[in-house]
């Protein structure tokens, strides 16, 4: 599933569309708008004629504020909400062309923005915006915590809540109500960097270890952003159809059997819910 760096890469790819008018909308598969309860006709009506604003993101959620041409009033501020799910993609084309697994098509003058989704877990919606401090977020995102790259992220509050959690530290990192945007890949990478075992009880983390872990979360996300995100297959690409190459820089995730980059001990893979954790049994011990 695309995590914060991949969603941020897509957000940046959409920025040049700010101020663009949506001339037409086609919902080709209603499974792609499951988050829009009013259905396809309402979704198409509310987007057609709208102007796209500056795209925003919180964790794995992406949205584009909407306005009307000529400053025409809208009943309430709203946005096009986007969740990529496991395989959702937004593809921007200079001319109409067909894509496999095409679900929704937005006509933007001579350009076309297409939402494709092989596994159909992603979804689009038109959602009202709600105040959240100095920001406005879609109502469906209001319960999601800020992410570590958000300027409004409160380090002290996060560290306090993390160290109060009576659960494994990796499970806490994946809790989107505590901190958003961290998925399985970047949790493993950050834990390796901080020398913290995935099953370390969060409430037994020392203050220095928790602070070091937060620093590693930021560092690995910034590195992934610089390399365009992580692509293991063609399920994640940016709006131009290009893959990220952070998979070449992974130090823990999917590296089981390979020597640890610090001590040379073979990395191991351990079942974790319906996924897996990857770590060094020597460098990352339960304290």
pLDDT by residue (tens digit) across 128-172?
A: 999 988 789 999 999 999 999 999 999 999 999 999 999 999 999
286 inside domain: no
In this structure, the answer to whether residues 57 and 182 fall within a common structural domain is: no
What pLDDT does 156 receive? 97
Which residues in the chain show pLDDT less than 70? Answer: 1, 70-75, 228-238, 240-247
The structure tokens listed for 204 are: 């037994």
Query: What's 189's domain CATH number?
Result: 1.10.8.50
In this structure, the answer to whether residues 133 and 196 fall within a common structural domain is: no
Convert the pLDDT of each residue in 22-38 to its tens digit. 999 999 999 999 999 99
In this structure, the answer to whether residues 175 and 242 fall within a common structural domain is: yes
284 inside domain: no
Residues pairing with 90 in the sheet = 115
82 inside domain: yes
In this structure, the answer to whether residues 128 and 9 fall within a common structural domain is: yes
In this structure, the answer to whether residues 25 and 65 fall within a common structural domain is: yes
Domain count, the chain: 2
Which residues does the annotation mark as catalytic?
2-3, 60, 275
In this structure, the answer to whether residues 171 and 131 fall within a common structural domain is: no
Q: What angle do CA 257, 262, 263 make, to 5 degrees?
A: 70
161 inside domain: yes
Residue that finishes a domain, picked among 141, 169, 197? 141
- Contact status, residue 103 vs residue 121, Cβ threshold 8 Å: no
The conformation of residue 258, written as its DSSP 8-state character, comes to S
Exposed, middle or buried by CB within 10 Å (0-12, 13-18, 19+), for 82? buried
72 inside domain: yes
State how far the Cα of 113 lies from the Cα of 125, in Å rounded to an integer. 15
Look at residues 19, 12, 94, 81 and name the one whose alpha carbon lies nearest to residue 46. 81
245 inside domain: yes
Query: What's 94's domain CATH number?
Result: 3.20.190.10
In this structure, the answer to whether residues 181 and 268 fall within a common structural domain is: yes
Look at residues 149, 155, 3 and name the one whose alpha carbon lies nearest to residue 83. 3
Look at residues 182, 192, 142 and name the one whose alpha carbon lies nearest to residue 162. 182
What pLDDT does 87 receive? 85
Residue that finishes a domain, picked among 141, 164, 191? 141
In this structure, the answer to whether residues 79 and 118 fall within a common structural domain is: yes
148 inside domain: no
The structure tokens listed for 105 are: 């098509």
60: domain range? 4-141
In this structure, the answer to whether residues 113 and 233 fall within a common structural domain is: no
Residue 43's H or E segment, with its range, is helix 40-47
In this structure, the answer to whether residues 107 and 174 fall within a common structural domain is: no
Residue that finishes a domain, picked among 90, 110, 141? 141
149 inside domain: no
- Based on C-alpha coordinates, what's the Rg of the chain? 20
In this structure, the answer to whether residues 54 and 167 fall within a common structural domain is: no
In this structure, the answer to whether residues 229 and 261 fall within a common structural domain is: yes
What pLDDT does 52 receive? 96
Residues pairing with 129 in the sheet = 138
């Amino acid at each position: 599933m695309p995590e914060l760096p991949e969603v941020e890469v897509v957000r940046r790819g959409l920025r040049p569309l700010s101020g663009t008018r949506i001339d037409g909308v086609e919902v080709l598969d209603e499974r792609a708008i499951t988050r829009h309860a009013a259905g396809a006709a309402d979704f198409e009506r509310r987007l057609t004629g709208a102007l796209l604003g500056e795209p925003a993101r919180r964790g794995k959620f992406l949205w584009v504020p909407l306005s009307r041409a000529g400053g025409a009033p809208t009943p309430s501020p709203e946005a096009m909400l986007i969740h990529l799910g496991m395989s959702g993609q937004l593809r921007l084309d200079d001319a109409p062309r067909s894509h496999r697994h095409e679900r929704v098509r937005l006509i933007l003058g001579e350009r076309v923005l297409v939402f494709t989704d092989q596994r159909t877990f992603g979804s689009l919606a038109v959602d009202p915006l709600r105040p959240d401090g100095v920001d406005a977020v879609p109502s469906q995102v209001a319960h999601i915590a800020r992410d570590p790259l958000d300027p409004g992220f409160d380090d002290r509050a996060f560290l306090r809540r993390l160290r109060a959690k009576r659960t494994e530290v990796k499970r806490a990192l994946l809790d989107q109500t505590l901190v958003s945007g961290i998925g399985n890949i970047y949790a493993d990478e950050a834990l390796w960097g901080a020398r913290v075992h995935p099953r370390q009880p969060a409430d037994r983390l020392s203050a220095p270890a928790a602070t070091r872990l937060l620093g590693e979360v930021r560092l690995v996300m910034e590195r992934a952003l610089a390399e365009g995100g992580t692509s293991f297959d063609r399920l994640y690409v940016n709006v131009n159809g290009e893959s990220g190459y952070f998979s070449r820089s992974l130090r823990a995730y999917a590296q089981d059997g390979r020597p640890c980059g610090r001590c040379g001990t073979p990395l191991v893979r351990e079942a974790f819910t319906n996924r897996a954790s990857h770590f060094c049994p020597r460098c990352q011990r339960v304290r």
